[in-house]
């Protein structure tokens, strides 16, 4: 986890092949196209009479021996299924979606990826192993950040929680592509935002904290940002870690002020902006998903959207009152 106050010990992280975690570069697409969808400017995509279902498939026959432990950990934790179940309960999808934990991936794929049509998410077993190895090193070499519970600061918990966040990122891509959601910025930012929106609201702080710890390690391994890194469609890795923490802190400043801000994990120059940033994200995703909520969740979703809208207004007004003070302190 980012810590601007410094840390007492650190070792070099060996992390080959996952420097762009949760990337979405992919080739080809799966599934037979059923329709071309509405044209530009046609508004929300009409929902099919039959809602698509998300299923998680573990293709055990493709998993190499060295990756079996990591795959078993994720499979037994059921974090992929937890996200899939939420989507199945909450949303009406135009197409089925399959999540494949498999080594039989398209050419060039090394990380978790979402196909362009949003109907298939690939999770390579070797990717899970790399996460597990990196976090095993973190536990050995990095002093536990105060916000993270001591009982969960171990390789297994960190691997499961960070994988849940990364999978939330991929699910964000899949929903954007299946539902043809409108973005006001880069899709990668929106996918990170969905991971925060879903995990903070439905799971708790664990996935955001674990993902920040992991991405902080990746950023340190990467060193000084390169031209390639700065020109990527992904934000710079260290920036993503701070974004995860900002949304979490903004969701409940009173709860996280001491553990995240006062401890130095989230800079005091960033923290005042986070409540309004979270309010905008929360309202934005409830608004984007509202036309696609299932019948059982529609009323609840409307209420959540209404509450999020009220909070956005309040936080924007509060930010306006203190913006001069914030600017002068930066």
Over residues 229-267, the pLDDT tens digits come to: 665 656 677 789 999 999 999 999 999 999 999 888 999
Region at 293 (left for phi over 0; alpha for psi -120 to 50; beta for the rest): beta
Say how far apart CA 266 and CA 296 lie, in whole Å: 38
Question: Is there a contact between 241 and 166 (Cβ–Cβ < 8 Å)?
Answer: no
Q: Which of 124, 128, 135, 240 is nearest to 192 (CA)?
A: 240
Tell me, yes or no, whether 225 lies in a domain. Answer: yes
| pLDDT value at 129 more than 90 | yes
217 in a domain, yes or no?
Answer: yes
pLDDT for position 226: 67
CB of 70 closer than 8 Å to CB of 103: no
**What are the strands, taking DSSP E only, across 84-166?**
97-101, 113-114, 120-123
Burial class (CB in 10 A: 0-12, 13-18, 19+), 263: middle
Q: Which domain holds residue 118?
A: 54-328
Residues 6+ apart with CB under 8 A from 49: none
Does residue 48 belong to any structural domain of this protein? Answer: no
Cα–Cα distance measured from residue 221 to residue 12, given in angstroms and rounded to the nearest whole number = 7
Residue 210 and residue 153 in contact, taking contact as beta carbons nearer than 8 Å: no
Q: Among 24-38, 210-224, 308-322, where is mean pLDDT lowest?
A: 24-38
pLDDT at res. 278: 98
**Mean pLDDT across the chain:** 84
Domain count of the fold of the chain: 1
Q: Measure the CA–CA gap between 107 and 109, rounded to whole angstroms.
A: 6
39 falls within a domain: no
Looking at residue 234, what is its pLDDT?
Answer: 65
- The answer to whether residue 24 sits within a structural domain is no
Q: How far is CA 186 from the centre of its chain?
A: 14
What does the block give as tokens for 47?
A: 């929902």
Q: Residue length, the chain?
A: 330
**Domain for residue 18, yes or no?**
no
pLDDT at 223: 62
pLDDT tens digits along 40-82: 333 444 444 468 999 999 999 999 999 999 999 999 999 999 9
**Among 318, 327, 274, 284, residue whose Cα is nearest residue 304:** 284
Judged by DSSP in three states, 157 sits in helix
- Taking the CB of residue 47, how many other CB atoms lie within 10 A of it? 17
pLDDT band at 218 (very low <50, low <70, confident <90, very high): confident
The winner for highest mean pLDDT among 63-77, 183-197, 213-227 is 63-77
């Amino acid at each position: 986890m980012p810590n601007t106050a410094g840390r007492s010990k650190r070792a070099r992280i060996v992390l080959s092949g996952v420097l762009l975690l949760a990337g979405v570069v992919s080739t080809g697409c799966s599934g037979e196209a059923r329709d071309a969808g509405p044209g530009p400017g046609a508004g929300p995509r009409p929902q099919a009479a039959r809602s698509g279902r998300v299923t998680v498939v573990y293709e055990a026959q493709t998993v190499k021996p060295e990756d079996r432990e990591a795959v078993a950990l994720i499979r037994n934790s059921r974090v992929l299924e937890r996200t899939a179940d939420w989507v199945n309960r909450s949303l009406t999808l135009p197409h089925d979606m399959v999540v494949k934990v498999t080594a039989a991936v398209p050419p060039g794929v090394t990380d978790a990826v979402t196909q362009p049509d949003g109907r298939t998410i690939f999770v390579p077993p070797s990717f899970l192993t790399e996460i597990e190895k990196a976090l095993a090193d973190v536990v050995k070499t990095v002093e536990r950040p105060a916000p993270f519970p001591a009982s969960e600061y171990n390789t297994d918990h960190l691997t499961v929680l960070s994988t849940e966040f990364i999978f939330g990122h991929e699910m964000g891509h899949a929903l954007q592509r299946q539902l043809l959601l409108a973005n006001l910025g880069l899709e990668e930012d929106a996918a990170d935002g969905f991971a925060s929106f879903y995990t903070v609201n439905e799971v708790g702080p664990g996935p955001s904290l674990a993902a920040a710890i992991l991405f902080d390690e990746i950023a340190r391994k990467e060193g000084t940002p390169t031209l390639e890194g700065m020109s990527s469609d992904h934000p710079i890795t260290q920036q993503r870690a701070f974004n995860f923490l900002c949304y979490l802190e903004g969701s409940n400043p009173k709860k996280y002020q001491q553990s995240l801000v006062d401890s130095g994990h989230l800079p005091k120059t960033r923290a005042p902006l986070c409540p309004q940033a979270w309010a905008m994200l929360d309202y934005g995703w409830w608004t984007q998903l509202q036309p696609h909520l299932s019948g059982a969740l529609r009323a609840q979703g409307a209420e959540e959207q209404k509450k999020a809208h009220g909070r956005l207004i309040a936080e924007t007004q509060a930010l306006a009152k203190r913006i001069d003070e914030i600017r002068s302190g930066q």
